[in-house]
A and B are shown apart, each in its own frame.
Chain A
Amino acid sequence: MRIDDDAVRTLCDLAKLKLAPEERERMRGDLEQILEYVRKLDELDTEGVPPTTHVLGLVSPLRGDRVEAVLPASEALRNSPEQAGDALVVPQVKPE
């Protein structure tokens, strides 16, 4: 499986990562090697085999529609790098 630098750049965009050129090159080589290895699965005939998304065969249970205690905002926001009142502060989203 050939992976080129453009493909790694696209993946970085999708994953919100910013890698230096040498780090990108290393990742490119690693991804190529790993994707080559996983081609092993092509040896198997999986036609008609249902996919497993979950091992327990659970159905999504519904919880009771009750009001329950929640964390106060100050507690929930305590770990954020920057906050103002009950809000999270982030850098400017739109250019001026």
Chain B
Amino acid sequence: MSALVEHTLCELAERVEAGEASCREIVAAHLERIERADGEIGALLGVRASEALEEAERADALRASGSAPSKLAGLPLAVKANLVSPQLESNCGSRILEGFRAPYQASCLERLREAGLVLLATANMDEFAMGSSCENSAFAATRNPWDPQRVPGGSSGGSAAAVAARMAPAALGSDTGGSIRQPAALCGVVGLKPTYGRVSRYGLVAFASSLDQIGPLARSAEDAAELLGLIAGHDPRDSTSVAGPVPDFRGALSGEVSGVRVGVPAEFFSREGADEESMDLVRQAVGAIEEIGARTCGVSLPHTEYGVATYYLLCTAEASSNLSRYDGVKYGFRAPADSLEDMYRRTRSLGFGAEVKRRILLGSYVLSAGYYDAYYLRAQRVRTLIRRDFEAAFETCDVIATPTVPGPAWPLGEKTGDPLQMYLSDVFTATVNLAGVPAVSIPCGFTRAGLPVGLQLIGPALGEETLLRVADAYQRHTDWHRRSPALPGH
């Protein structure tokens, strides 16, 4: 295996800058890795092998003439299959969008392409981002690179597994209730969900519009900061994108955390059924952050245990509305039928998988007359209580540290028959989306069985700089994020 695939994106940029490697060599090394490892892992749905090599060569030529558009120009990236681009098949892991290639570019991809990054491959995902294990993809179940008998997490499971298995130095994902952070934790990589509105959602296929946010998965907090800087910022095509200047996220990584107040919510560490070994590793990580100069204090987020119920009422309601557009008329799959009504029903019934149907039915239920107040409106009110929990906590601390997931990656198939158990794996991540605040998951150790565990750092709205500064400082003192899974081809 080429050593090039072991580098982070920022390190690759330095090697290219120093003339020690070309972008073509870097893309070729990752393609070789994909060739060897993805048969077993199944992280990717499509690979742009020849186009990616050509784009990398072009970047090398531009750099030679002193006109590379950015330091990262020519470096490859994997993209979750719910971000649209004329260059990629954006099938969202669904039969209903099989073969779909949008005539326009998602804003985040447009910005990355302007910076010269190479869209290397599309990454597998739970259908329409609905799932926590990547087993809901209509095309393949991605496997965890640390143990191929286990799930990679979801819904951005393909993105996380691709980065963990060194098939791409970084990837984009989307996070509605934990879909970037949870697979990042289970695959031992960094996953950042920015503040709601930080990154334009234009070109992200909508699941639950008040919760969805795009973010990077990478192997270091530094890479996540670099990528966030490229994709963040106001976009007139998304009216929920935040106006105002984009901070220098990478410049904020001073390595200095003295004086930072880290809030530790006890209720996250004493949850019934949580894996004690994982909780211990997260406690040790908080201790390590304290040792390098931060102060810890107790905080409380008392409505956390209502997060999953609130989340599943709101996200299914929004999904039932958002997914009404898949009707066999405008794009995607169409089932043959004699009447329009029958065509709608047959198309949707054959095109959607079980979890998507379950959520559409649940969303239709909670929005229907007679149940709206009892379910949807009540969930919106509890969402306010959850937001207030975070607002109160951030009066006494700068960052909140928690486990990302209650336990490590579970065996394939273990939770597929029990939707509620699957939903409960989002217990530590979903409240963050409900409050709209940013959070990052970083690797903080391994269980005795060799499975990665993630530490989640949560910040106040638009507080990504502090989050990333703490994450980066921790990574300067630890090497969990440097560990590489043993895979075929070694």
- B residues near A, CB below 8 A? 100-104, 196-197, 210, 236, 239-240, 242, 303, 305-306, 309-310, 312-313, 320, 324, 327-334, 337-346, 348-349, 352, 354, 357-358, 360-362, 364-365, 368, 375, 377-385, 387, 419-420, 423, 434-436, 461
Are A19's CB and B349's CB within 8 A?
yes
A58-B239, A63-B236 as given contacts; A46 in contact with B385, CB under 8 Å:
yes
Q: Which of B337, B340, B364, B419 has the most CB of A within 10 A?
A: B364
Are B361's CB and A90's CB within 8 A?
no
Q: Which of A12, A61, A71, A88 has the most CB of B within 10 A?
A: A12
List 4 extra interface pairs beyond A15-B348, A71-B104, CB under 8 A: A16-B345, A17-B348, A49-B384, A79-B100
Are B361's CB and A80's CB within 8 A?
no
A62-93 near B? 1/0 per residue, CB < 8 Å = 01000000010001101111100000101111
- What is the distance, in angstroms, from A31's C-beta to the closest C-beta of chain B? 6
- What is the distance, in angstroms, from B287's C-beta to the closest C-beta of chain A? 32
In angstroms, Cα B370 to Cα A14, docked, is 15
- Selected A-B contacts with CB under 8 Å, 27 pairs: A11-B364, A11-B368, A15-B348, A15-B360, A16-B344, A18-B346, A19-B349, A23-B354, A30-B419, A34-B420, A34-B423, A38-B375, A41-B306, A46-B382, A49-B382, A52-B381, A52-B384, A56-B197, A58-B197, A79-B100, A79-B103, A81-B332, A81-B333, A91-B337, A91-B338, A91-B343, A92-B340
Q: Of A30, A42, A79, A90, which one neighbours B331 at CB under 8 angstroms?
A: A79
Are A51's CB and B381's CB within 8 A?
yes
Q: Which residues of B contact A53 (CB under 8 A)?
A: 210, 380
Are A50's CB and B381's CB within 8 A?
yes
A17-B360, A56-B436 as given contacts; A92 in contact with B339, CB under 8 Å:
yes
User: Between A and B, how many residue pairs show CB distances below 8 Å?
Assistant: 163
In angstroms, Cα B117 to Cα A91, docked, is 43
Nearest-neighbor residue (CB-CB) of A16 within chain B: B344
Q: Which residues of B contact A91 (CB under 8 A)?
A: 337-340, 342-343
- What is the distance, in angstroms, from A55's C-beta to the closest C-beta of chain B? 3
- What is the distance, in angstroms, from B96's C-beta to the closest C-beta of chain A? 11
- What is the distance, in angstroms, from A64's C-beta to the closest C-beta of chain B? 9
Q: Which residues of B contact A63 (CB under 8 A)?
A: 236
Q: Of A16, A54, A81, which one neighbours B334 at CB under 8 angstroms?
A: A81
Nearest-neighbor residue (CB-CB) of B388 within chain A: A49
In angstroms, Cα B303 to Cα A71, docked, is 46
Q: Which residues of A contact B102 (CB under 8 A)?
A: 79
Which secondary structure dominates chain B's binding surface?
Answer: helix
Q: Which residues of B contact A82 (CB under 8 A)?
A: 334
Q: Which residues of A contact B346 (CB under 8 A)?
A: 18
**Number of interface residues, chain A, beta carbon within 8 A:** 52
A15-44 near B? 1/0 per residue, CB < 8 Å = 111110001001100110111011011111
Are B419's CB and A41's CB within 8 A?
no
In angstroms, Cα B312 to Cα A54, docked, is 16
Are A27's CB and B357's CB within 8 A?
yes
In angstroms, Cα B368 to Cα A84, docked, is 37
Are B383's CB and A51's CB within 8 A?
yes
Q: Which residues of A contact B343 (CB under 8 A)?
A: 90-91
List 3 A-B pairs, minimum CB-CB distance, nearest first. A55-B436, A51-B380, A79-B331
In angstroms, Cα B384 to Cα A56, docked, is 12
Nearest-neighbor residue (CB-CB) of B316 within chain A: A34
Q: Of A7, A34, A41, which one neighbours B379 at CB under 8 angstroms?
A: A41
- What is the distance, in angstroms, from A4's C-beta to the closest C-beta of chain B? 13
Are A55's CB and B384's CB within 8 A?
no
Are A90's CB and B329's CB within 8 A?
yes
Are A49's CB and B340's CB within 8 A?
no
Are B330's CB and A75's CB within 8 A?
no
Q: Which of A16, A50, A71 has the most CB of B within 10 A?
A: A16
In angstroms, Cα B382 to Cα A50, docked, is 9
Q: Which residues of B contact A11 (CB under 8 A)?
A: 361, 364-365, 368
Q: Of A27, A50, A61, A81, which one neighbours B328 at CB under 8 angstroms?
A: A81
Q: Which residues of A contact B364 (CB under 8 A)?
A: 11, 14-15
Q: Which residues of A contact B420 (CB under 8 A)?
A: 33-34, 37
Are A27's CB and B384's CB within 8 A?
no
Q: Of A17, A76, A88, which one neighbours B349 at CB under 8 angstroms?
A: A17
Q: Which residues of A contact B328 (CB under 8 A)?
A: 81
Q: Which residues of A contact B312 (CB under 8 A)?
A: 34, 38
Are A17's CB and B362's CB within 8 A?
no
Nearest-neighbor residue (CB-CB) of A59 within chain B: B239
Nearest-neighbor residue (CB-CB) of B239 within chain A: A61
- What is the distance, in angstroms, from B17's C-beta to the closest C-beta of chain A? 37
Q: Which residues of B contact A15 (CB under 8 A)?
A: 320, 324, 348, 357, 360-361, 364
- What is the distance, in angstroms, from A65's C-beta to the closest C-beta of chain B? 13
Are B361's CB and A27's CB within 8 A?
yes
